[in-house]
Structure 1
Amino acid sequence: MPQLDVDGARLTYDDEGPRDGVGAPLVFVHGWTADRHRWDHQTEHFSTGRRVIRLDLRGHGESGGAGSPTVEALAADVRALLDHLGVDRCVLIGHSMGGMIAQTIALSHPERVERLVLVNSISRMTYSRGRGLLMAVSTLVPFKLFVAANIQRAFAPGHPREEIRACVEASAATPREVVMTCYGAMRAFDVLDRVGEIRVPTLLVHGYHDIQLPVAQMLRMAKAYPDALVRIVDAGHELPLEKPAELTAVLDAFLAPKE
């Protein structure tokens, strides 16, 4: 389990697959209160033929250095890891907050990104009435209740309760300071007016039942991208957990060499 010290944080990461595999390395970035294992299915599939890198963001999973991370600081951590691993250019794949981090890197360092994949992510946070109410009371309710309310509504109707419960417990293990700071950072995230600058092929994959970041918000973002392919999957916000094989198939088609 390799680790890298970056600006007061010890980042845990995986670097798998052949260095001389076909195509640029795939770099997977997880979302809020998650960890690198969100990408287990994709890592197992793609690392047989190409290099795959994934990390636990600072304060998440097995990475230390909680602090008060911003989207920009988390993006800087990812770039530091790529520098450490000698990766000049990659396919950047981010889920939810990870997609915000990926867009930040694509805008600030476009030379590092060959292709971009955003899974259940958006470019500007817009709150529904229910989401706005949840944000308003977030500092008034017990921390674990706040986390549980957010995670439970992330899944499509009918998802197994035991899997949701395990996800809630894992998310609640993330340090409170990290959870709340990242929540605020996502609330303030807004690059919608700039995504037209991202000129690389981009895949937007979204769950039809996502009420955290609704499909309508993603489609608004898609219109602003100059080269975006949209795929809608029968899932909620936690697409990597709900439909891992289907997500892998969509990624496989997008990444396949063009004849």
Structure 2
Amino acid sequence: MPQLEVDGAALTYDDEGPRDGDGVPLVFVHGWMANRHRWDHQVEHFAERRRVIRFDLRGHGESGGAGVKTVGELARDLLALLDHLGVERFVPVGHSMGGMIAQTVALSHPERVERMVLVGSIGRMTYSRGRGLLMGASTLVPFKLFVAANIQRAFAPGYPSEEIRAYVEASADTPREVVRTLYGAMRAFDVLDRVGQIQAPTLMIHGYYDIQLPVRQMLRMAKAYPDATVRILDAGHELPVEKPAELTAAIDAFVSVRSA
């Protein structure tokens, strides 16, 4: 896989699809403790007719690096990669923390964002007491047990346990330092009072059973957006893999609309 060195981190990425395809490139950004393969279904679908880019965030998947302190730093990694690839205008598709990165870019570089898709993401982190206790226990229990507790609660009831175990294994490869530091970065993330400045048409897709980032938090954010479309799917937090076909179809319908 190709890599780009950015501030001491080798970022692994995929750049697929026709350069002269339909519309500006789609750029898929995964979330906390995940990797670029969360988007396999979507990339396979869209790369047939348009340019599609995805990458492993620093410290995740096949990318190196650690020490990142803020969502803004992850957004700079994304922009550095796009500059390297010669991509000026694009559609960010961000899941969870990836949606926070997308919103950060939309606020700092609005001229580069044609449309935006937020999947299971919000503009201000508000954690339940239970989630706080879980994070507090992260230094007291084996790391893999902590990861398993977080990943299992991300899926809707009834999702196959053997598939959840596979995601636990993949997520446990994320270094503990990266996991804890980026948890802090997400807790500090707050653009709710600024999202009214985002003029790019935005699709917000959320799982009805999402207890990681509850749907009511997304709806609070949606009210502040000038141009937001909301879709609720019968799923938990991991929409790209829980409902891949439905998510892909919703994104396709949204990005196929021609801007005025």
State the TM-score, normalizing by the size of structure 1: 0.97
Offset of 1:133 from its aligned partner? 2.2
Q: Please, what is the CA RMSD of the aligned residues?
A: 1.2
Alpha carbons 1:201, 1:227 under 8 Å: kept:
yes
Offset of 1:255 from its aligned partner? 1.2
Structure 1 residue 48 and structure 2 residue 48: aligned?
Answer: yes
Structure 1 residue 91 and structure 2 residue 67: aligned?
Answer: no
Q: Counterpart of 1:218 in 2: which secondary structure?
A: helix
- Farther-moved stretch of structure 1 (130-139 vs 193-202): 130-139
- Farther-moved stretch of structure 1 (230-239 vs 180-189): 180-189
Q: What's the counterpart of residue 60 of structure 2?
A: 60
How far, CA to CA, are the matches of 1:48 and 1:188 in structure 2? 38
Offset of 1:143 from its aligned partner? 1.8
Structure 1 residue 144 and structure 2 residue 144: aligned?
Answer: yes
How far, CA to CA, are the matches of 1:159 and 1:124 in structure 2? 28
Q: What 5-or-longer segments of structure 1 have no aligned partner?
A: none
- Farther-moved stretch of structure 1 (128-137 vs 235-244): 128-137
Offset of 1:132 from its aligned partner? 2.5
Offset of 1:258 from its aligned partner? 4.3
Please give the residue correspondences for 1:72-91 in structure 2 after superposition, counting only pairs within 5 Å: 72-91=72-91
1:7-42 residue CA offsets vs partner (Å, 9 max, x unmatched)? 000000000001011111000000001111111111
How far, CA to CA, are the matches of 1:9 and 1:69 in structure 2? 14
Q: Counterpart of 1:137 in 2: which secondary structure?
A: helix
Q: What's the counterpart of residue 13 of structure 1?
A: 13
Q: Which amino acid aligns with 1:184?
A: G
Q: What's the counterpart of residue 217 of structure 2?
A: 217
How far, CA to CA, are the matches of 1:228 and 1:127 in structure 2? 24
How far, CA to CA, are the matches of 1:105 and 1:68 in structure 2? 17
Please give the residue correspondences for 1:1-259 in structure 2 after superposition, counting only pairs within 5 Å: 1-258=1-258
1:97-137 residue CA offsets vs partner (Å, 9 max, x unmatched)? 00001101111111111001100000000112322222333
Alpha carbons 2:154, 2:237 under 8 Å: kept:
yes
Q: Counterpart of 1:10 in 2: which secondary structure?
A: strand
Alpha carbons 2:107, 2:197 under 8 Å: kept:
yes
How far, CA to CA, are the matches of 1:258 and 1:92 in structure 2? 16
Q: Counterpart of 2:33 in 1: which secondary structure?
A: coil
Offset of 1:175 from its aligned partner? 0.8
1:27-82 residue CA offsets vs partner (Å, 9 max, x unmatched)? 00000011111111111100111000000011100001122342111100000000
Alpha carbons 2:68, 2:74 under 8 Å: kept:
no
How far, CA to CA, are the matches of 2:178 and 2:205 in structure 1? 26
How far, CA to CA, are the matches of 1:175 and 1:250 in structure 2? 33
Q: What 5-or-longer segments of structure 2 have no aligned partner?
A: none
Q: Counterpart of 2:139 in 1: which secondary structure?
A: coil
Q: Which amino acid aligns with 1:239?
A: L
- Farther-moved stretch of structure 1 (59-68 vs 212-221): 59-68
How far, CA to CA, are the matches of 2:19 and 2:75 in structure 1? 23
Alpha carbons 1:69, 1:178 under 8 Å: kept:
no
State the TM-score, normalizing by the size of structure 2: 0.97
Offset of 1:148 from its aligned partner? 1.1
Q: Counterpart of 1:203 in 2: which secondary structure?
A: strand
Aligned length: 259
Alpha carbons 2:207, 2:236 under 8 Å: kept:
yes
How far, CA to CA, are the matches of 1:167 and 1:176 in structure 2? 16
Q: Which amino acid aligns with 1:70?
A: T
How far, CA to CA, are the matches of 1:126 and 1:25 in structure 2? 32
- Identity over aligned pairs, percent: 80
